[in-house]
């Protein structure tokens, strides 16, 4: 455990006076967020300015992990895919991701959903990357999804709100910061990992084992065995802070 003694990230004038590199701080804050979301799948869901401190050496420290979000490996892939399709302006790709997530209803009007997403993308067509609010656009996509009864998972909604909060802070620190540029390498990395031949082979093997276990479970059930009473132990961790020092 480490005691955090730094300057609140909201005190921009003091950070400037002390000679901190605000562009580097904004980039490190973005890296901290996307590393948590897309690499670890476990993220700070309440990253307001009071929970972020800057320490000597332009070190960024997040505290108070009372509200956390989790993303499974599959959900991280879907979120990365949404980001890539959004960046490329592809409503078809966004709908394909919704379909892969199995959150579309059988009676969803695909033409109307495509049209609404197309209109949203057109709305931001001439917006520069600096002015682009990733969190706001994601929330607007979710509003369209809700309109068409597409069921967005709670953790993804929580993530969008966290990104929106962080974006506001990052733009105060560095008005020229582009979150779309910052997220692109992470999105591409997770998609490359997803479609790596070794990952595909391992996933296929896991599915084979899973199916074998299901068949075995059915066999045992009808043989008079019952393993449903086994308890699974959980483990909760408490984090005081996470510190980001690397550029």
* Residue of 190, 237, 244 whose CA lies nearest to 59: 244
Backbone angles phi, psi at 61, to 5 degrees: -125, 130
Q: Are 69 and 45 in contact (CB under 8 A)?
A: yes
Residue 209, number of CB atoms within 10 A of its CB: 10
| Mean pLDDT value of segment 147-170 | 90
pLDDT of residue 129: 53
pLDDT of residue 236: 37
- Rounded Cα gap, residues 24 and 138, in angstroms: 25
214 has pLDDT over 50? no
pLDDT of residue 43: 92
153 has pLDDT over 60? yes
Tens-digit pLDDT profile for residues 13-26 = 999 999 999 999 99
**149-153 contact pairs (CB < 8 A, 24+):** 149/105, 149/108, 150/98, 150/103, 150/104, 150/105, 150/108, 150/113, 151/103, 152/103, 153/75, 153/101, 153/103
240 has pLDDT over 60? no
93 has pLDDT over 90? yes
Domain ranges of the chain: 7-69+239-244, 72-194
Q: Which residues contact 33 (CB under 8 A, 6 or more apart)?
A: 43, 44, 47, 162, 163, 166
User: How many helices (H) and strands (E) in the chain?
Assistant: 9, 6
The DSSP line for 185-201 is HHHHHHHHHHT-HHHHH
pLDDT of residue 1: 62
86 has pLDDT over 70? yes
70 has pLDDT over 60? yes
Q: Which residues contact 163 (CB under 8 A, 6 or more apart)?
A: 33, 134, 135, 138, 179
Residue 40, number of CB atoms within 10 A of its CB: 13
Tens-digit pLDDT profile for residues 95-136 = 999 999 999 988 999 999 999 999 998 888 776 655 678 888
């Amino acid at each position: 455990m480490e005691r955090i003694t730094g300057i609140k990230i909201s005190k921009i004038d003091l950070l400037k006076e002390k000679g901190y590199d605000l562009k580097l701080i904004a980039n490190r804050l973005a890296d901290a967020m996307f590393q948590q979301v897309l690499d670890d799948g476990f993220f700070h869901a309440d990253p307001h300015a009071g929970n972020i401190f800057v320490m000597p050496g332009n070190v960024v420290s997040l505290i108070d992990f009372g509200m956390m979000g989790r993303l499974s490996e599959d959900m991280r892939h879907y979120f990365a895919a949404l980001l890539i399709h959004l960046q490329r302006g592809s409503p078809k790709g966004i709908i394909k991701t919704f379909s892969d997530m199995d959150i579309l209803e059988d009676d969803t009007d695909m033409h109307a959903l495509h049209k609404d997403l197309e209109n949203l993308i057109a709305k931001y067509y001439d917006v520069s990357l600096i002015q682009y609010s990733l969190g706001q656009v994601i929330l607007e996509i979710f509003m369209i999804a809700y309109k068409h009864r597409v069921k967005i998972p709670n953790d993804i909604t929580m993530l969008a709100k966290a990104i929106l909060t962080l974006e506001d802070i990052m733009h105060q620190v560095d008005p020229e910061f582009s979150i779309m540029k910052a997220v692109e390498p992470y999105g591409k990395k997770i998609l490359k990992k997803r479609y790596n031949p070794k990952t595909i082979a391992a996933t296929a093997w896991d599915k084979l084992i899973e199916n074998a276990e299901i068949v075995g479970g059915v066999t045992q059930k009808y043989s008079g065995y019952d393993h449903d009473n086994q308890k699974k132990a959980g483990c909760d961790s408490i984090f005081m802070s996470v510190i980001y020092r690397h550029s």
